[in-house]
Amino acid sequence: MGDRTFRTNEKKAAAVATTSRDGPDLQDALSWYRQMVIARRFEEETERAFRRGKIGGYLHVYSGQEAVAAGFLAEIRPDDIFFTSYRDHAHALFRGSPPGAVMAELFGKAAGLARGKGGSMHLFDVPRGFYGGYGIVGGHIPLAVGAAYALRYRGGDQVCLCFMGDGAINSGAFHESMNLAGLWGHAGLCPLVVIVENNQFAMGTSLAQSSAITELARRFDAYAIPAERVDGMDFFEVRAAARRAVAQARGAGRPVAVEALTYRFSGHGAADVFQPYRTKDEIEQARRRDPIASLEARLREAGLLDDSRVSAILDEAEAIVQDAVRFAEESEAPAPDALTTDVYGDGA
Amino acid sequence: MPELSYRDAIRSTLIEEMDRDTAVVLLGEDIGQYQGTFRITADLLNRYGPTRVIDTPISELGFVGAAIGMAMLGLRPVVEMMTWNFSLLAYDQIVNNAAKIRYFSGGQVNAPLVIRGPNGAGVQLSAQHSQSLEAIYAHVPGLHVVVPATPAEAKGLLRTAIRGTDPVIYLEHAALYAMKGDVPDGDFRLPFGRAEVVRHGRDVTIVAYSRMLHVALEAAETLAAEGIEAEVINPRTLRPLDRTTMVESVSRTHRAVVVQEQWLPFGAAAELAASITEGAFDLLDAPVERVGGADVPLPYARNLELLALPHAEDIVRAARRTLYRETPAAGGRSDA
């Protein structure tokens, strides 16, 4: 394991520590801290496996953004569903997909979450309500709107989460979908929560260069969708916003949006080595706001973590990730006949 | 067996399927209050209400994508594309999501939706509203592409489409909506991938679909008067494509003409011709002839539009060429 300590912004941690939280929330936060540590360690390992040639294609890692997916997935029920883009590994892990099956998918193995047919960008775990990672920026947004409609049409009170990046906000798909969501929300038929994971860059193009307004929550005003902006590096803040948004969407069957300000520590994808669009100093500054470190500081303050417990969690994460790699390495490649299955069903 | 128009065959199938299964919902532009541009959905808003007959804004990408999401969650959306020309705005959703979700999810989800609407030319709508886009959909694995030519096919193929498990591109022809024909009663369905031999003959096989089937049948009458007996085959679906029936026919006639309404380069007729050549090369007594439209954007002026589209006479001449009773066209095509 490379970096065993997560650096934090002391002032920020102190501010969080003075906010009153109830006990059960903190206990639960401790379990999410553990999951975020596992996800971070998992992503570090995927980058290594990519360099070793074990993972092909594209690889987009989530390091730095963990509090966003964790905060939202902590607030939905097992029968709720979600969609996301191609930066999707942590979402699967947080929802309980076996790390071995996630890693096996990245390794292109039959035991992978999508039988080795989707790869890093197309993780799916439908029994757990994960309706997929998608590779065309913005292309999954209308799917989530229709899925939300279907949930309500069928009479349940489930919600659908739609994670998207800041880059997707300029796509026509976003605007057409939000207009539909707003319209269907008027009729109480769109229990959708849109989460804009604003990590400041659409690939290598900064938000200021790509969006005429940089406060992305305001984009939702045009579609009668209430939206708020939160610090996406702060698990508690994200989680509180998620709780409000999910309750509203579930209760009224109307869409709600949250813009989470976050930052990715790695390149856009594994091929983005030099990152000429940002400075090392900027990354360093962002790392001082590491969401895992700030959550850790908060849990230390509350007496739920100390050095030995942190060390035990790191060791456990290491073991889980190494098991996942071993499972992926030892799994079989898809059989040749898998090439032509899953193109059509039996119906027609 | 009642007689129905092509339009009423589609409409009555929608009603029967909506009555049968509440998972069937309709989406599209002006399908409700306006009653549908071609009145396929007339009175359906009144019958089923706005949660099942969904008038959408003008945003093909958005509502096709939403319909895919609905299908993934177990609904059976039937999307009306006001004309297939507008589907290009939703092409990413159809090709990158609907066609591939089953595959890249490793079989965990499917998208059983039907997208239907008029395709093709003939009523002076000029370049942006007259295209025949079957080839760009039939090119894509994961989609079914259906091209009904008669009221009975319209009903039988639509029912199969709605009850299927995969996305279906259902291409109507605006010039056929008023056509009448006998339609079997009850739970009538036509399987995909099964061509029909519409007319039997021993001298030359003509393969044509959608409106061109009727043009081919007209050509067959003319040929019969000359003593040439044409066998006319209607594939009914382009994907899956019934290669067997075509090859079996050509192995008897030894000659083939394949027909499509518009641009020949990389088009459906090329696939039909290749299938015949691959399956019956040794049995062919002449090169397979392709008949299609002019390789230009569709013009507005009536005389130019007529020049741009194939007519029975073009099929007759092509059939004669396969029998060496007509000299090849001089100079080749403008796109050659």
CB contact under 8 A, A150 and B96: no
State residue A24's pLDDT score: 64
CB pairs under 8 A between A and B: 161
Q: Which of B16, B17, B29, B60 is catalytic?
A: B60
Q: pLDDT below 50 — which residues of chain A? A: 1-4, 8-21, 347-348
In this complex, which of A147, A179, A347 lies closest to B59 when CB atoms are compared? A179
Cβ atoms within 10 Å, residue A252: 13
* Test the B interface: residue of A176, A183, A186, A192 with most B CBs within 10 Å: A176
Tens-of-pLDDT digits for all 336 residues of chain B? Answer: 899 999 999 999 999 999 999 999 999 999 999 999 999 999 999 999 999 999 999 999 999 999 999 999 999 999 999 999 999 999 999 999 999 999 999 999 999 999 999 999 988 999 999 999 999 999 999 999 999 999 999 999 999 999 999 999 999 999 999 999 999 999 999 999 999 999 999 999 999 999 999 999 999 999 999 999 999 999 999 999 999 999 999 999 999 999 999 999 999 999 999 999 999 999 999 999 999 999 999 999 999 999 999 999 999 999 999 999 988 765 444 443
Per residue in A179-223, pLDDT (tens digit) is 999 999 999 999 999 999 999 999 999 999 999 999 999 999 999
CB contact under 8 A, A143 and B66: yes
State residue B330's pLDDT score: 56
Instruction: Please confirm, yes or no, whether B326 is among the known catalytic residues.
Output: no
State residue B328's pLDDT score: 74
CB contact under 8 A, A172 and B70: no
CB contact under 8 A, A142 and B61: yes
Instruction: Please confirm, yes or no, whether B129 is among the known catalytic residues.
Output: yes
CB contact under 8 A, B69 and A149: yes
Strand A160-165 with A81-84, pairing: parallel
Q: At which residue do the structure tokens 């009729």 appear?
A: A187
Q: Distance (Å, rounded) from C-alpha A27 to C-alpha A24?
A: 5
Torsion-angle region of B120 (φ positive above 0: left; ψ -120 to 50: alpha; else: beta): left
Cβ-defined contacts of B83-86 (< 8 Å, 24+):
B83/B117, B83/B118, B83/B119, B83/B125, B83/B129, B83/B174, B84/B117, B84/B118, B84/B119, B84/B131, B84/B133, B84/B171, B85/B128, B85/B129, B85/B130, B85/B131, B85/B133, B86/B60
State residue A9's pLDDT score: 47
Beta bridge partners of B24: B76
Contacts of B73 in chain A (CB under 8 A): 81, 146-147, 150-151, 154
Q: What is the pTM of this model?
A: 0.95
Q: Which of B16, B17, B29, B129 is catalytic?
A: B129
State residue A346's pLDDT score: 73
State residue A2's pLDDT score: 41
Q: For residue A204, give the nearest of A123, A258, A269 by alpha carbon.
A: A269
Three-state SS at B94: helix
Contacts of A125 in chain B (CB under 8 A): 108
